[in-house]
Each structure stands twice: as structure tokens, then as C-alpha cells.
Amino acid sequence: MQRRRAAYRRRQSVRSVLIAAGSTAVLGTLLVVAVANSPGWPRVQQSFLDPAVAVESLPAVLRGLWLNVRLLVFCAVGALALGLAIALARTLRPAVFFPLRAAATSYTYVFRGAPLIIVLYLFTFGVPGLRLAGTPSVLVLGGCALVVTYGAYLAEVFRAGIEAVHPAQRAAARSLGLSHAQTMRHVVLPQAVRRVAPPLLNDLVALQKDVGLISLAGPIDAIRAAQIETATSYNFTPYVVAGVLFILLAIPLVAVTDWVTMRAARRQTWAGTA
């Protein structure tokens, strides 16, 4: 009986996989036929998918991508630290901390609202314009703009996580004699961070794409490198090359996000059924 049931289920799943594959193939073929038969296809193909141009532009785009990667690492660390600090400041209850709370709140309001490009302009063109001694390079200034902007997003994510931890947890920790700081450190934050890990990683994927905007201040990132290649040949293939590289770069992060989300979901279901 049980074995027959298993066999039936297997047949059903094989069948659904086949149907899915079939319909995907039909849709894919239709799409390819439609695109390839459009009158402009040969020129679009030549302009966007020229293998020779792709190979030629690859080294320059990769060099640019290296800048994106380095910047991503530094900005991600900075933004996570800043976001966490701001979120903690916003959750401080005592009245003495009102100024700090107010400052943290207005910071998240301002920098979540301000377009990143404008923040970048202000940091990379405005600050050097002051001509102060010891002004850091535009790369550092642009990195700061990214950290400040993304720190605001991440702060809100962290705060949501902190507030989602049930007050009973906090009360229990305090009644055990832990201080506010100890409660945060050992009880609240571990749960909060785990809960908001998927949206945090999601923001990091967004940051990965936005680090390239620093190119408006002069540095050559992957997309700017592709733009330069495009300008010399009037062929858009380098953009496609950069796009593919960005997707490849994002895949590990996206995969980790999915895995973390799935693990969290599974754990919650177990907790629910236990």
C-alpha cells in the first residue's frame, strides 16, 4: 500500500516536471523565434552580442569590477556597523538619550529619502570643493556616501528585528539580572539579527549594484569601463558583458539569502509544531 502510494507520487512528480519542461521549451522557442525574426534582430545582435567585442572588452570590464568588489566589501562592513549602531540608538528608552534618539531618527529619515546620486555628488564634489587640508580621495568620500545612505536602510531593518523580539524575552533577561547592554548583546540581538538576515542580505545585493555609481566622481568601475569601450566601438556588447559579470557576482549572495530564508522558515515551522 505504502509502496504503491510512493510509486504514484513519483509518477506524478515526473509527470509535472515533464509538463513544466515542455511548456518552458514551447515558450522559450516562441520567444526566440519572435525575437530572431524581428526585422531589427541582425543589427541588435551585432550591437549587443558580438563575441569579438565581448572578448576585447572583458579585461577592462574585469578591472572595473575589481573596484566594485573592493568597494562592496568595505561599504558593506561600514554600512552594517553604522546601521546597527543607529538602530541601537533608536531603541534606547531612557529620557536622557532623547537627543541621541532624535538624531538617529532624523538621520534615517534624511538618508533613506535622499537620492544616492545626490548624496554622492555632495560628498565627492562638495567636500573636496572646501579645499580642506587632508581631504581623503574621492574613492573614500564616495565610499562614505554609500555607507551613510545604506546605513540608513540597514538601521531600519535592524530596528524592525530588534522590535520583533518579544518583550517577554527582554523582561526575562532583565529579571535574571542582566543589564540593558547585556540583554541586547546576549538575548535580543542574536534573535533579531537572525530574523532579519534575509532583508539585510537583500540590501547588500542592492548595495553591490550601487557601488558603481561612484564612477560619477571619476573612478572607473565595471559599468563605466563598459561605457568607455562602447564609446570607442559604438557597440553595446560591453554592457552585456558587465551585466553578466554582475549577475555572476550576485549569485552567491542571492543563494545565501535564499538558504538563510529557507532555514529560518523551516526552524519556525518546527518551533510551531513542536
Partner 1 sequence: MVRSRQRAALVGTVAVLVTAVAGCSPQADDPPVDPPTPGPCNPQWLDTIVPRTLTVGTDQPAYPPWFVDDAPENGAGFESAVAYAVANQLGYEPDAVTWVRVPFNNAIAPGPKSFDIDINQFSITEERRAAVDFSSPYYDVTQAVIALEGSPAASVSTLAELREVKLGAQVGTTSYRAITEVIAPTAEPAVFNNNDDAKAALRNGTIDALVLDLPTAFYVTSAEIDDAKIVGQLAQPSGSPEQFGLVLDKGSPLTDCVSEAVDELRDNGTLAGLEAEWLAEVAGAPVLS
| Interacting residue ranges for partner 1, rule: CB under 8 A | 40, 43-44, 46-47, 124-125, 128-129, 131, 138, 215-220, 224, 227-228, 230-236
Shortest approach of partner 1 to residue 121 CB, angstroms?
Answer: 9
Shortest approach of partner 1 to residue 220 CB, angstroms?
Answer: 6
Shortest approach of partner 1 to residue 153 CB, angstroms?
Answer: 25
**Sequential DSSP letters for the chain:** -HHHHHHHHHHHHHHHHHHHHHHHHHHHHHHHHHHHTSTTHHHHHHHH--HHHHHHHHHHHHHHHHHHHHHHHHHHHHHHHHHHHHHHHHT--SGGGHHHHHHHHHHHHHHHHS-HHHHHHIIIIIHHHT--TTPPPHHHHHHHHHHHHHHHHHHHHHHHHHHHS-HHHHHHHHHTT--HHHHIIIIIHHHHHHHHHHHHHHHHHHHHHHGGGGGGGS---HHHHHHHHHHHHT--HHHHHHHHHHHHHHHHHHHHHHHHHHHHHHHHHHHHH-
Residue with smaller CB distance to partner 1, 108 or 124: 124
Residue with smaller CB distance to partner 1, 152 or 223: 223
Shortest approach of partner 1 to residue 187 CB, angstroms?
Answer: 48
Residue with smaller CB distance to partner 1, 26 or 49: 49
Shortest approach of partner 1 to residue 40 CB, angstroms?
Answer: 6
Residue with smaller CB distance to partner 1, 50 or 203: 50
Residue with smaller CB distance to partner 1, 196 or 217: 217
